[in-house]
Structure 1
Amino acid sequence: MSTGTALSSNRPAVALAALLGGMGVLHFVAPKPFDSIVPKALPGKPRTWTYLSGVAELGCAVAVAAPKTRRLGALASAGLFLAVFPANIKMAADYRDKPLAQRLAVYARLPLQLPLVAWALRVRRSAM
């Protein structure tokens, strides 16, 4: 396989790792928005869940970035995208009285979880 082919075949994995890594870092540098969408049914403090999900995203990012762990990391990423879906639902419910533009932005996130899961599963299938 040529270098150009190898790079282009890794682009989806690199992009997924970058997305996960960026979001993971945000959980630590700007945790308040994440705290606000932690479902109240979860035990403990929202900040704990914010940090735990940030660690999970960073762990998935590292696993997806490394070719040897990419398959497992991509599968874990798909699971993580599904696991955080209740937070997106909570956020949509919390925004039901906000201005229309804000509601639309938040509501648009809900169906975006499916392409994220599909992306992670495609990265898993294409990993060696």
Structure 2
Amino acid sequence: MTLEGGRTAARLVLAIIYGFVGYVHLRSPEGFLPIMPDFVPFPREVVLLTGVAEIFGAIGLLLPRLRRAAGWGLAAYAVCVFPANIKHAAEGIALGGTVMGWGYHVPRLMLQPVLVWWALFAGGITSWPVRRG
């Protein structure tokens, strides 16, 4: 697979993921409120805004003119939501009636930098670690 073929595949998969998760944020914002850090004002509104941001980011990845901006935006988004992931893990908060163990949380926390890279790669901002030939 070529660099651009890989980038296209990464872009499509990431757009599907963020589009779906954004929809879930909008459909069921209450489900995300327990993991919202205490320092975040207006938590329900922030959850709704994150859903909108995810959907716009997903759409932006698919539009060549907006692709780089969407890549930067989704990378920043992944950094900004990291405190919620930490709270979820550290406090063992149940979502949907289920408490996830460290077997879920450790990989999930380790995935966050990968999501940052993935957004930058899909947005055409970085080619690392693929060498351009």
TM over 0.5: yes
| Higher helix proportion (structure 1 or 2) | 1
Could you tell me how far apart the structure 1 residues matched to 2:121 and 2:5 are? 16
TM-score (norm 2): 0.79
2:80 to 58, 61, 83: 83
Match of 2:67 in 1: 70
8 Å contact kept, 1:35–1:49: no
Could you tell me how far apart the structure 2 residues matched to 1:41 and 1:86 are? 10
Could you tell me how far apart the structure 2 residues matched to 1:6 and 1:103 are? 36
Could you tell me how far apart the structure 2 residues matched to 1:50 and 1:88 are? 13
* Pair 1:26 & 2:24 matched: yes
Structure 2, unmatched stretches of 5+, are: 127-133
1:17 to 12, 15, 18: 15
Change over 3 Å in CA distance of 1:122–1:33 after alignment to 2: same
* Pair 1:103 & 2:102 matched: yes
Could you tell me how far apart the structure 2 residues matched to 1:52 and 1:103 are? 28
8 Å contact kept, 1:17–1:62: yes
Give the RMSD, CA atoms, in angstroms: 2.6
Match of 1:121 in 2: 120
Change over 3 Å in CA distance of 1:66–1:48 after alignment to 2: same
1:22-54 CA-to-partner distances (Å, cap 9, x unmatched) read 11000022222211111111122x211110111
Runs of 4 or more consecutive aligned structure 1 residues displaced over 4 Å after TM superposition: 5-9
Could you tell me how far apart the structure 1 residues matched to 2:99 and 2:24 are? 26
Q: What is the total number of aligned residue pairs between the two structures?
A: 121
- Larger RCO: 1 or 2 (CA < 8 Å, sep 6+): 2
Match of 1:56 in 2: 53
Match of 1:94 in 2: 91
Q: Percent identity?
A: 33
Match of 2:41 in 1: 43
Change over 3 Å in CA distance of 1:95–1:33 after alignment to 2: same
